[in-house]
Amino acid sequence: MAERAAAVEIEGVAQAFGGRVIFRDVSATILRGEVFVILGGSGCGKSTLLRQIIGLLAPSEGHVRVLGQDMYADRGDVLTRIGVMFQAGALFGSMTLLENVMLPLQVYTDLPPEACARVAQVKLGLVGLGDFGRAMPAEISGGMAKRAAIARALALDPPLLFLDEPSAGLDPVTSAGLDQLILDLRRDLGTTFVVVTHELASILAIADRCLMLDRAAKGVIAEGDPRKLREERVHPTVRAFFHREMPKEAGAA
């Protein structure tokens, strides 16, 4: 595993807003081809760390390299080699689903329009939305919007996909379908996934490794295989998270 190239390298990053520290000294290496989950309770900084990795929020300290490029110095063409699914989908409301998926293909490839449409249709088909190409984002459900957002993130077949809370607010069946989609894409295309979530079932279903942040500790409290973390007697917050129980301090209160 150690021989695989790194897809994302996070070196000692910290984030503070004003004087409020969200987390500090977070480091991790995400390898190509793995499904890596960033997890933790609400407000621990999961989405903030994701925004740092994808180049939307410069860290207060530290460095982030994605596919070998420093996200805040010289990005090169890295933005055409990553795909991002935002929590609410962030589909363009004035375009149909097909047009949403076609947009990156039209901008970054020389494919003729009919080929763009065909490829976009295939991406929608891969996420189970083959019959909804003409639908507008406002006309579909939240789960469908998330799947359409994954199709758009997949448009250029990027080797690295970032998913922010893909299962949040979805029913268990749809959520399980999304988990299976992630595993299928990893198997068929070798895509690396960085997933931010706190859905325990999803974490155990898809993650090769995970990184757990904690609001009280303002940083990383665990890293590794989530199945092992669940079994090991480690940090009380980690145990409480994986066993869905109140932490001792809170329980005593």
Partner 1 sequence: MLTFTGVLDAAGTGVIWGEAQKAAGSGAVVLELSALEGCDTTGAVLLAQLAARPGSSVQGARPQVQALMDRVGKIGPPPPPPVAPTVTLREALQGGMVAALGGVAFLGEAVLALLRLPARARQFRFSDLLRTADQAGVRAVPLTVLLGTLMGLILAFQSLVPMRRFGADLFVANLVAISLIRELGPLLAAVILAGRTGSAFAAEIGTMKVSQEIDALTTMGIDPVTMLVLPRMLAAMMVMPALTVILEMAGLLGMTLVMVGAGYPPITIGNQVAQWVKPEDFFGGIAKAVVFGAVVAGIGCRAGLATGIGPRAVGLSATAAVVGGIVATIVLDGLFAVLFYRLGW
Shortest distance (Å) from residue 103 CB to partner 1: 13
Which CB sits closer to partner 1, 96 or 175?
96
Count of other CB atoms within 10 angstroms of residue 212: 27
Quick check: 101 and 122 in contact, CB under 8 A? no
| End-to-end CA, the chain | 43
Q: Residue 230 and residue 140: Cα distance in Å, rounded?
A: 36
Shortest distance (Å) from residue 108 CB to partner 1: 7
Q: Residue 20 and residue 17: Cα distance in Å, rounded?
A: 5
Shortest distance (Å) from residue 101 CB to partner 1: 10
Which CB sits closer to partner 1, 96 or 192?
96
Closest CA to 226 of 35, 29, 32, 33: 35
Which CB sits closer to partner 1, 94 or 180?
94
Which CB sits closer to partner 1, 184 or 245?
184
Q: Residue 91 and residue 146: Cα distance in Å, rounded?
A: 9
**Site residues (CB under 8 A) for partner 1?**
93-94, 96, 98, 105, 108-112, 115, 117-123, 125-126, 130, 133-134, 136-139, 154-157, 188-189
Which CB sits closer to partner 1, 147 or 218?
147
As given in the structure block, the two tokens for residue 32 are: 């190509």
Instruction: Say which DSSP state 17 is in.
Output: E
Backbone angles phi, psi at 244, to 5 degrees: 50, 50
Which CB sits closer to partner 1, 141 or 216?
141
Shortest distance (Å) from residue 156 CB to partner 1: 5
Shortest distance (Å) from residue 31 CB to partner 1: 19
Question: Can you list the positions of beta strands (E) in the chain?
Answer: 6-17, 20-31, 35-40, 61-66, 69-70, 82-85, 160-164, 192-196, 209-214, 219-224
Shortest distance (Å) from residue 119 CB to partner 1: 5
